């Protein structure tokens, strides 16, 4: 639901810029490069796949979230968000961007309406559901947000943002066991979510304290 990016931003974005100047490589060559033993090659591939990758790039980028290099992990996460934000239909994508603009400027009711239009046009576009879940969360509509997060996961099982969002909604609804389960699922996909790891630790401690109170 909510976007979580890795650290090392200065190096990461310098790599994004330098890779953009190299031209558009083919996705198959970038996917092969992502498996290279050369760290710099993996960094360049992780950065470029955000620009040129389609849904077939998702699984390799998710795997790159486990890369030993922190910068590769951060770039892979950034690229996943880029890939997920493209539906493949120019009309849908334009409406989606309008919804994002409304969300970013605090026009939340308009964002919900616009993202609803997107969903009606393309109900399999998981990121539209995810962003509407974000808006519902910001409005305090936690049940509605949770419902949209669940749709995202049905459409995209590795969407760590929606899994994190499920946990945040469960937390707001005082559903600690469900929150912890969602946080742990998010961390299995993307172990680089520092805030989610910290929240999971806090929830475990709360559950442990509650269990002790029952003894």
Alpha helix stretches (DSSP H) within 105-158? 108-121, 126-138, 142-155
**211 token code pair:** 């269990």
Tokens of 43: 């960094």
pLDDT of residue 23: 45
What gap in Å lies between CA 102 and CA 81, rounded to an integer? 19
pLDDT of 15 > 70? The answer is no
- Output the CATH code of domain 88-142: 1.25.40.10
What's the CATH number for 9-84?
1.25.10.10
- Residue ranges covered by each domain of the chain: 9-84, 88-142, 157-215
Residue 19 has pLDDT above 70, yes or no: no
Question: Which residue shows structure tokens 């558009």?
Answer: 24
User: What pLDDT is stored for residue 4 in this prediction?
Assistant: 38
pLDDT band, residue 25 (cuts 50/70/90): confident
Q: What is the mean pLDDT of residues 90-115?
A: 98
- The DSSP output letter for 85 is T
Q: Judge residue 74's burial from the number of C-beta atoms within 10 Å of its C-beta, 0-12 exposed, 13-18 middle, 19 or more buried.
A: buried
Kindly state the average pLDDT of the residues 185-192. Answer: 98
CA dihedral 138, 74, 47, 80 (to 10 degrees): -40
- Report pLDDT digits (tens) over 104-134: 999 999 999 999 999 999 999 999 999 999 9
Question: What letter would DSSP give residue 88?
Answer: S
pLDDT at 10 over 70: no
What does pLDDT average to over the chain? Answer: 91
Q: In 3D, which of 104, 99, 94, 101 has the Cα closest to residue 116? A: 99
Q: What is the pLDDT of residue 215?
A: 56
Q: Are 1 and 150 in contact (CB under 8 A)?
A: no
pLDDT at 108: 98
Q: For residue 3, what pLDDT is reported?
A: 54
pLDDT, residue 18, reads 47
Query: Do 9-84 and 88-142 show the same overall fold?
Result: no
């Amino acid at each position: 639901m909510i976007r979580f990016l890795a650290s090392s931003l200065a190096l990461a974005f310098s790599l994004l810029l330098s890779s953009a100047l190299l031209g558009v490589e083919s996705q198959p060559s970038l996917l092969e490069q992502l498996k290279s033993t050369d760290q710099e090659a993996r960094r360049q591939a992780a950065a470029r796949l955000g620009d040129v990758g389609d849904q077939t790039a998702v699984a390799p980028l998710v795997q790159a979230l486990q890369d030993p290099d922190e910068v590769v992990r951060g770039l892979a996460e950034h690229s996943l968000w880029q890939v997920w934000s493209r539906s493949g239909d120019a009309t849908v994508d334009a409406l989606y961007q309008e919804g994002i603009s409304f969300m970013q400027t605090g026009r939340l009711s308009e964002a919900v309406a616009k993202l609803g239009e997107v969903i009606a046009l393309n109900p399999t576009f998981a990121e539209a559901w995810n962003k509407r879940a974000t808006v519902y969360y910001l409005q305090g509509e936690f049940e509605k947000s949770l419902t949209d997060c669940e749709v995202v996961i049905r459409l995209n099982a590795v969407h760590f943002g929606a899994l994190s969002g499920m946990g945040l909604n469960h937390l707001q609804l005082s559903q600690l066991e469900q929150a912890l389960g969602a946080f742990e699922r998010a961390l299995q996909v993307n172990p680089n979510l520092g805030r989610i790891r910290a929240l999971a630790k806090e929830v475990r401690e709360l559950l442990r304290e509650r269990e002790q109170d029952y003894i």
